A and B are shown apart, each in its own frame.
Chain A
Amino acid sequence: MTAMCDVAFLLLTFFMLATKFKPEEPVVVQTPSSISEIPLPDADIMLLTVDTKGRIFFSIDNKLKRKELITSVNTDRNLGLTEAEMNSFAIGSSVGVPLNQLKSLLNTPPESRAEIEKQAPGIPVDTSVLSPNNELAQWVKSARYTNPKLRICIKADGEAAYPHVKKIIRTLEGYKIFKFNLITNLKAVPPGTAAFEQKKLAKAE
């Protein structure tokens, strides 16, 4: 009994120290699998979430950068946000509403915001960065301006139609971003393939 209790509390301490809470997700996304083993970096990520219906949610980490971001978007697009609203953005998670609905979203209390996020139409996007309707372009531009080290990660649902993803890729290409990450689940390398042989060789070395 004593031994078991000791082990139990050891485990408890381990999990308490090792745990990192799952970040709040606006929508549930089932990412497709790939054999890629590159882990997602901890900091400096811009996350573009695409759900099954193709709605786009945008988020960056780091509270301070979020504050800078919203300040920059506010002045660029004349949103007329108050200081309190901007602070509310900084501590929030992700955005999935067009810019004209942003003010009302930020005015709602955080408890009911999750409900609104579920109904959110997503950030409008277009195939060209020059299009005024391409609000994602605005977000990407301002975010990269506040934090040039940002790594862009697309987390899209496997069932999302390709044209939605294409629009995002086109927007990024418009800013000459040709290198980005797609978030996937891990799957085993099928045996007998070129990648499998490479992996075996790397292990043998």
Chain B
Amino acid sequence: MAEMDTSGGGHKKKGPGVKKGKKLSTRIDLTPMVDLGFLLITFFMFTTTLAKPKTMEINMPYKDENLTDAEKNKLKASVAMTVLLSKNHRVYYYEGIGDNPDQAPDLKVTGFKAKDGIRDAIIAKKKIVDGLKRSGALTAKDEMTVLIKPDTTSTYSDLVNMLDEMSINDVKVYAIIDISDIEQGFIQATETANGVQ
């Protein structure tokens, strides 16, 4: 391979009686070098970080203790969807904001799955809001809003999955809010009704 040709041109045969000059071989065994080369390649391949970690940007709603009630935007119940994240990656959702403690909202249970999951529920809700906008019941400024309320038994992955659903389904307005005791009660009630431990 990469060795020099030292045979000295085309004079392959020398006449009889001509003494062959003793030549030292200039061939070098390259195998160790190649071995080392591949070793280094493997080393660098394993240590390198070609795939840089990705980040998702999150904007929390502005919060200020000095904000008066009049300055705050009121959320219309018709555009709102409340999603409760609970244990074992279960997701409970209902339409509206559940501000009436006497009348329990119709809590539905689902999860993060491809079929009949929370995604389909969001898409369905989006269609309803779009329909209301067209019929004139809502103004063009109204946007579908998702209220994400993770409870204490939910994990961080639930939250990220939920936020991801927001970007997947192009929901522009959403907020992460603390779960209320009433809603915690709703989850309990649904769990006992369904016989879930």
Binding site for B on A (CB under 8 A): 1-2, 5, 8-9, 11-12, 15-16, 18-22, 31-40, 50, 153, 155-166, 169, 172-173, 178-186, 189-190, 193-196, 198
9 closest cross-chain pairs (CB), A and B: A158-B157, A15-B44, A194-B170, A36-B56, A181-B55, A32-B157, A32-B160, A34-B164, A19-B48
Stretch at the interface among B70-78, B90-98, B145-153: B145-153
Q: Which residues of B contact A15 (CB under 8 A)?
A: 40-41, 44-45, 48
Number of chain B residues close to chain A: CB under 8 A: 51
Task: Please give me the residue from chain A that is nearest to B85 by CB atom.
Answer: A162
**Taking each of B1, B156, B161, which has the highest tally of chain A beta carbons within 10 Å of its own beta carbon?**
B156
Whether B168 pairs with A11 at a CB distance below 8 angstroms is no
Contact of A182 among B49, B58, B123, B158 (CB under 8 A): B58
Q: Is residue B141 within 8 Å, beta carbon to beta carbon, of the partner chain? A: no
Q: Is the Cβ of B37 less than 8 Å from the Cβ of A5?
A: yes
Alpha-carbon distance between A56 and B45 when the two chains are bound, in angstroms: 31
Known: A38-B54, A162-B85. A2 touches B49 (CB 8 A): no
Binding site for A on B (CB under 8 A): 1-2, 30, 34, 37-38, 40-41, 44-45, 47-63, 85, 114, 119, 123, 150-161, 163-164, 167-170, 176, 178
Contacts of B176 in A (CB 8 A): 169
Residue of A1, A8, A156, A193 contacting most chain B CB atoms (<10 Å): A193
Distance in angstroms from B51 CB to nearest chain A CB is 8
Across the two chains, which residue of chain A brings its CB closest to B151?
Answer: A162
Question: Do residues B37 and A12 form an inter-chain contact, with CB atoms below 8 A?
Answer: yes
Nearest CB of chain A from residue B79's CB, rounded to whole Å: 17
- A178 to chain B: which residues have CB within 8 Å? 59-63
Complex contacts, A11 vs chain B, CB 8 Å? 41
Partner of B55, one of A32, A172, A184, A195: A184
Q: Known contacts being A20-B49, A31-B53, A190-B114, is A158 close to B44, with CB within 8 Å?
A: no
